[in-house]
Amino acid sequence: MELDSPEAIDRIASWLTSEFKADRIEVVQLEKLSGGAIQENWALQLDIKGGEREGGLDAVLRTDSPSGLAVSHSRAQEYELLSAAFENGVTVPEPLACCRKLSVIGKEFAIMRRMPGIGLGPKVARDPSLGGDREILAERLGQELAKIHQIGPETHQFDFLEPANTYDSLESFYRFLDDLDEPRSALEWGLRWLELNRLPKEKPVLAHHDFRTGNYMVDEKGLTCILDWEFAGWAEPHEDIGWFTAMCWRFGNRDLPAGGIGSREAFYRGYEHQSGRKIDHRRVYFWEIFAHIRWAVIAIQQGKRFRDDNEATLDIVLTGRRPAEIEYEILRMTMPGTGLVAAKH
Amino acid sequence: MKRDEPIGEDLLAVAADVLHREIVPTLTGDERLSVLMAVNAIETARRELENAPLLEKMEHTALSEIAGGGDSRGLCRAIRNGKFDMGDKAVALHGALLEHAVLRCRISNPKYLDAAEKDWESRLLL
């Protein structure tokens, strides 16, 4: 059923009434905020009568897109991860409820508190009036990432995650490359170079796996929340750090390594202070190269989608052409006869 | 046989130019972004047509001279199996791959390439 049909709205209100132990709930507004290939976010404004949550509530309802590509975690699994992050003090939208029953709207959905701010990557990178002082923001983001990394397999169990001791990022990338079924010599070169320069594995932590500019929101004062937990999983902490500082995620601000918005020093300071550990600069270099390989594979997969129904958009076809610049950076970073260096630029 | 004129590259160049100079300034918001992206796509296609012979020549040279014949899949297998890890072979292959990537970038995103080459050149001088 259409999410904003009277029937669906009724069912959601009904389900939430019992979830929140209220007397009655009125859906003041249900409006689509954004939608991707995998999930949709709807603004959900509620007026709650009775119970602990009595009053107005500005929330977001998150559910699957109609196409429902199962390439990331389910909404319920994502909710579990979000809840763990929230409990650990990470700045995320407060998780409020999660419906695992398909009987309400035909698919799982999660409700979280609506947070203010702008999340669009290019906009945040380009507009210095957003996010307050950028160095303070960079430091804060480092601190937040360190808090995420404080969640570990010793204290948390997520039965849907690939086990911490078996997951290997390089190995899975050889699989992804094979699945692409097209020869990519630059990516093969990059993966081989990484293989030759592997370091002993770090203890796995909960990695966000898409921690970058574009996946956090800011208002004019600073950070409002970190988003998109659909790819989180057990991995080495430096993998997340390298994804954040990778050149391909700086939105053209080549001299601002912290997500295209700030300095490495500020970002590292926030991370090191919160975690009590020093960042290994050579490991960051390793994972920045990996980040480029990963993003190239994703861009190639995106590009192939243009032949599917309703997917021939300019966004998709232009994303499909990004690998040239990404592979360029990989090749520049992996000169023959060189090894890992401290990530500096 | 002689190609019909104006050739494809020129059609695309004129189309992109007209859209950019005459249409984009009249638009705002999402529509403006869409047309800018469309111009981007048209210009990329034009550069691709212009450079197609050179790209093919590069790939052919890399495969026959550096990879010792065979096809791209063979080259990928060889890289994965460590055949190009060290020595002159590594230097030659990396050089060819980089040169190829530079041309592909010039086609897909020349602005990116200009900024990137400047950046890398200054780093290598330090």
- Find the residue in A nearest to B67 (Cα): A185
B108–A192 CB contact, under 8 Å: no
The alpha carbon of A142 is separated from its chain's Cα centroid by a whole number of angstroms, namely 15
Strands in A95-99's sheet, in edge-to-edge order, are: A24-35, A39-49, A55-64, A109-113, A95-99
pLDDT by residue for chain B (126 residues), tens only, comes to 789 999 999 999 999 999 999 999 999 999 999 999 999 999 999 999 999 999 999 999 988 888 888 899 999 999 999 999 999 999 999 999 999 999 999 999 999 999 999 999 999 887
Residues 6+ apart with CB under 8 A from A334: A189, A190, A193, A194, A289, B94
Element counts in chain B: helices (H) and strands (E) = 5, 0
- Find the residue in B nearest to A324 (Cα): B105
Whether B120 and chain A come into contact, CB under 8 Å, resolves to yes
Please check whether residue B46 is in contact with residue B16, taking contact to mean a CB–CB distance below 8 angstroms.
yes
pLDDT of residue A69: 62
Distance from CA of A185 to the nearest CA of B (A): 5
- Find the residue in A nearest to B38 (Cα): A314
> Angle CA(A280)–CA(A281)–CA(A286) in degrees, nearest 5?
100
Helix, strand and coil percent figures for chain A, each rounded to 5? 40, 15, 40
Alpha-carbon separation of residue A134 from A137, A213, A220, A255, A264 (angstroms)? 5, 12, 11, 13, 12
Please check whether residue A173 is in contact with residue A293, taking contact to mean a CB–CB distance below 8 angstroms.
yes
Q: pTM of this prediction?
A: 0.95
Q: What CA–CA distance (Å, rounded) separates B84 from A38? A: 39
- Find the residue in A nearest to B111 (Cα): A252
Secondary structure (DSSP) of A148-211 = HHT--TTT---TTSPPTTT--HHHHHHHHHHHHTS--HHHHHHHHHHHHT--PPPPPEEE-S--
Distance from CA of B6 to the nearest CA of A (A): 26
Amino acid at the residue A282: R
Q: What CA–CA distance (Å, rounded) separates A226 from A240? A: 14
Distance from CA of A196 to the nearest CA of B (A): 8
Peptide bond into A128 cis (omega under 30): no
Whether B19 and chain A come into contact, CB under 8 Å, resolves to no
A325–B123 CB contact, under 8 Å: no
First to last CA, chain B: 52
Nearest to A192 among B71, B80, B104 (CB): B80
A332–B104 CB contact, under 8 Å: no
Q: Which residues of B touch A252 (CB under 8 A)?
A: 112, 115
pLDDT of residue A66: 77
Q: Which residues of B touch A319 (CB under 8 A)?
A: none
pLDDT of residue A176: 92
Share the mean pLDDT of chain B: 95
Q: What CA–CA distance (Å, rounded) separates A103 from A95? A: 21
Distance from CA of B5 to the nearest CA of A (A): 28
pLDDT of residue A288: 98
B113–A332 CB contact, under 8 Å: no
Structure tokens at B18: 């007209």
Whether B63 and chain A come into contact, CB under 8 Å, resolves to no
Please check whether residue A142 is in contact with residue A91, taking contact to mean a CB–CB distance below 8 angstroms.
no
* CA nearest to A239, candidates A167, A290, A299, A187: A290
Nearest to B76 among A183, A321, A322 (CB): A183
Distance from CA of B109 to the nearest CA of A (A): 7
Distance from CA of B1 to the nearest CA of A (A): 31
Nearest to A331 among B91, B97, B107 (CB): B97
* CA nearest to A93, candidates A27, A19, A33: A33
* CA nearest to A303, candidates A271, A278, A326: A326
Whether B86 and chain A come into contact, CB under 8 Å, resolves to yes
Q: What CA–CA distance (Å, rounded) separates A115 from A122? A: 19
pLDDT of residue A165: 84
Helix, strand and coil percent figures for chain B, each rounded to 5? 85, 0, 15
Whether A239 and chain B come into contact, CB under 8 Å, resolves to no
Model ipTM value: 0.95
Taking 50 as the pLDDT cut, the residues of chain A under it are none
Residues 6+ apart with CB under 8 A from A149: A205, A206, A207, A237, A240, A275
Q: What CA–CA distance (Å, rounded) separates B102 from A344? A: 23
pLDDT, tens digit (0-9, with 9 covering 90-100), for A217-250: 999 999 999 999 989 999 999 999 999 999 999 9
Q: How many CB pairs under 8 A join A and B?
A: 91
* CA nearest to A291, candidates A331, A344, A241, A342: A241
pLDDT of residue A293: 97
pLDDT, tens digit (0-9, with 9 covering 90-100), for A93-140: 999 999 999 999 999 999 999 999 999 999 999 999 999 999 999 999
Q: What is the largest CA-CA distance in chain B?
A: 57
Whether A178 and chain B come into contact, CB under 8 Å, resolves to no
pLDDT of residue A27: 95
pLDDT of residue A200: 96
Residues 6+ apart with CB under 8 A from A73: A81, A160, A229, A230, A231, A232
